[in-house]
Every structure is written in structure tokens, then in C-alpha cells.
Amino acid sequence: QQQVKQSPQSLIVQKGGISIINCAYENTAFDYFPWYQQFPGKGPALLIAIRPDVSEKKEGRFTISFNKSAKQFSLHIMDSQPGDSATYFCAAGWGKLQFGAGTQVVVTP
């Protein structure tokens, strides 16, 4: 069973818009919540990560919001650009990561 549920499966956003991807986890022992970005034909690469002692982390146009009580976290991509078109995976765990199913983001010009 998938311990990390990710939605939506895909989304289309206009250039300059906001992309929001949500994830929910079940295991309260999870202590590390990274987001990975994957371009076609490439391996995933770490985008941003958060630990549960903070509720938000921002790096440039990318922000993670974390709600420990609801066991949910989300990725916000502000001012989306065509170069952000990729598949995004949330993950949770400690070393041994459980990954979400992925969200394909398409940013239209």
C-alpha cells in the first residue's frame, strides 16, 4: 500500500501562475519530507526538503508548506516558468524514502 499519497496526477498552469501539489502521509515516524524534480530521460533531483519542526520552507520560487497534525505537506511553485515543466515527486521517511506517485506539471507559455 502506498504510504504517501500525491495529488493531482497532472496539472497544466500558465506561465506566471502558481502550481500546487499536495501530499499526505500515514506514518507519524516519518521525519524528512523532500520534493524531487524529474525531467524526461533523467533521474530525479532534489528540489527542496523540510523537517517537521518547521511549518514552511522557501527556496526561491519553491515553497513547502507542512501541516504535522494533518499529516500533509504541499509544494507551491510561484511564477511558474516553462522550464519548470517536469514531474514532481514528494517523499517521506528517514533514509528509506517512500515516494508519492508523481505529478506531471506542464507550464504553457
Partner 1 sequence: NAGVTQTPKFQVLKTGQSMTLQCAQDMNHEYMSWYRQDPGMGLRLIHYSVGAGITDQGEVPNGYNVSRSTTEDFPLRLLSAAPSQTSVYFCASSYRDGAYEQYFGPGTRLTVT
SS (H, E, C) the chain: CCCEEEECCEEEEECCCCEEEEEEECCCCCCEEEEEEECCCCCCEEEEEECCCCCEEEECCEEEEEECCCCEEEEEECCCCHHHCEEEEEEEEECEEEECCCEEEEEEC
- Closer to partner 1 at the Cβ: 13 or 49? 49
Pair 74, 65: CB distance under 8 Å: yes
- Contact letters for partner 1, residues 3-42 (x by CB under 8 A): -x-x--x---------------------xx-x-x----xx
54 binds partner 1 (CB under 8 A): no
To the nearest whole angstrom, how small is the minimum distance from the Cβ of residue 14 to partner 1? 26
Considering only 11, 13, 20, 97, the residue that binds partner 1 (CB under 8 A) is 97
Using CB under 8 A, pick the residue from 19, 35, 44, 74 that binds partner 1: 44
Q: Would you tell me which residues interact with partner 1 (CB under 8 A)?
A: 2, 4, 6, 9, 31-32, 34, 36, 41-46, 49, 51, 89, 91, 94-102
